[in-house]
Amino acid sequence: MTESTGQTAIAHTNIALIKYWGKADPALNLPTTSSLSLTLNEYFTKTRVEEAAEDTLLINDLPQDSQRVHDFLNVLREEKGDFSPVKVISENKVPLSAGLASSASSFAALTAAVAKYNGWDLSLEELSRLARRGSGSATRSFFPGFAIWEKGSNDHDSFAHEFNVPDLPIALVVCKISGTIKKVSSSDGMRRAQTSPDYDQWVAESAKQLDEMKQALSQSDLDRVGQLAEANALAMHDLNLTATDRRFTYFNQNTMKVFEQVKVLREKGYLAYATMDAGPNVKIITNQEQAPAIKDFLAERFRKIQFDIATPGPGISYE
Ligand code: PMV
């Protein structure tokens, strides 16, 4: 049996410590703020691109009809030159229930696989720029460890780069609070959040927090990293609550309870700060030494919630 020609890429997902939450240009996915993330070792997407009669998509062995993926393949054709139809076979090791953006690793892996398949010789920054059109958070999934997506001002200068931090023993305790599909997509959530009267203030504050975060990371000050990430996430979620267009929240009762316990953990002397994205699952920022004890502490109090420990992950790779 002959194997059909194809190319496989693996991208790990990332968690934003300084969030992307708003678009300056929705068509081009240009953000209102720069953002900073940590790539995670435990969760990834493996995507193979093969020749086919028409563009098709298979995720975890199931055929999917995703307009978003079709549109994205056409964006790549417009940007880099036409290529024949492809079959996209994707294996997602990002459990939906973990509340981590599988779109980040999915669009990063797809961009890299299509580029390699077509023999395009592109830098990581150029791959990041292209992936932005599929999903903003995908810009940051090409890089190991920490990455910064510079917001830029146009289609050409808005992409991510690595932010090198030597050996920071950071870990995340991921709380899988809800397995349900999110009710407000990140794009819709952003559109609505941008109607908050506090939005401009958030944009200004976020730039300051990013500068401070870079400093805290460079000084290996993990406590400050956690403080800034928690403050940035809570401010993002405040925007949703104060949106004038259909205010909403991703918090549910368990989310609130976990946030409370994170405070209790801090009072007990643990390094523990919470962050959260477009869903009710909380991610607790800590160090690798304390992560197992924090996981046990929470597992005892929340018997129905599952907890994972995640650590810094690698950049894009190929098979
Ligand atoms: O990648 P998108 O367009 O689904 O946006 C992701 C937004 C957040 O996950 C909430 C924040 C971020 O910076 O990843």
| Model pLDDT, residue 238 | 98
Share of the chain above pLDDT 90, in %: 88
The residue contributing the CA closest to ligand 1 atom 8 is 277
Of ligand 1's listed atoms, the one at least distance from the Cα of 107 is 1
Has residue 3 got a pLDDT over 70? no
Pocket of ligand 1 (CB under 6 A): 16, 19-21, 35, 101, 103-104, 135-137, 186, 277-278
CA separation for the pair 265, 65 (Å, rounded): 44
Q: What is the pLDDT of residue 13?
A: 96
- CA-nearest residue for atom 6, ligand 1, is 137
Under 8 Å between Cβ of 80 and 118: yes
pTM here? Answer: 0.96
pLDDT of residue 101: 74
**Model confidence over 114-146: pLDDT tens digits?**
999 999 999 999 999 999 999 999 999 999 999
Average pLDDT over residues 279-306: 96
Instruction: Give the Cα separation of 98 and 307 in Å (integer).
Output: 9
User: Measured on CA atoms in the order 98, 101, 103, 105, is the torsion positive or negative?
Assistant: negative
CB 39 within 8 A of CB 153: no
Interval 10-34: pLDDT, tens: 999 999 999 999 999 999 999 999 9
What's the rounded mean pLDDT across residues 33-43? Answer: 97
Residue 15's pLDDT is 97
- Ligand 1 atom closest to the CA of 19, numbered from 1: 13
- Which CA distances in Å does 303 have to 43, 72, 264, 298, 300? 23, 41, 18, 8, 6
Among the ranges given (85-89, 210-214, 248-252), the one the predictor scored with the smallest mean pLDDT: 248-252
Express each pLDDT in 233-246 by its tens digit: 999 999 999 999 99
CB-CB contact of 171 with 311 (8 Å) = yes
Helix (H, G, I), strand (E, B), or coil: what is residue 157?
A: coil
Q: pLDDT band at residue 1, thresholds of 50, 70 and 90?
A: very low
The residue whose CA has the least distance to atom 4 of ligand 1 is 186
Work out the pLDDT band at 94, boundaries 50, 70, 90.
confident
- Segment holding 299, helix H or strand E: helix 291-301
pLDDT above 80 for 267: yes
E-strand ranges in the chain read 6-18, 23-25, 30-31, 35-51, 56-59, 62-64, 86-92, 146-150, 159-163, 170-176, 273-276, 282-287, 306-310, 317-318
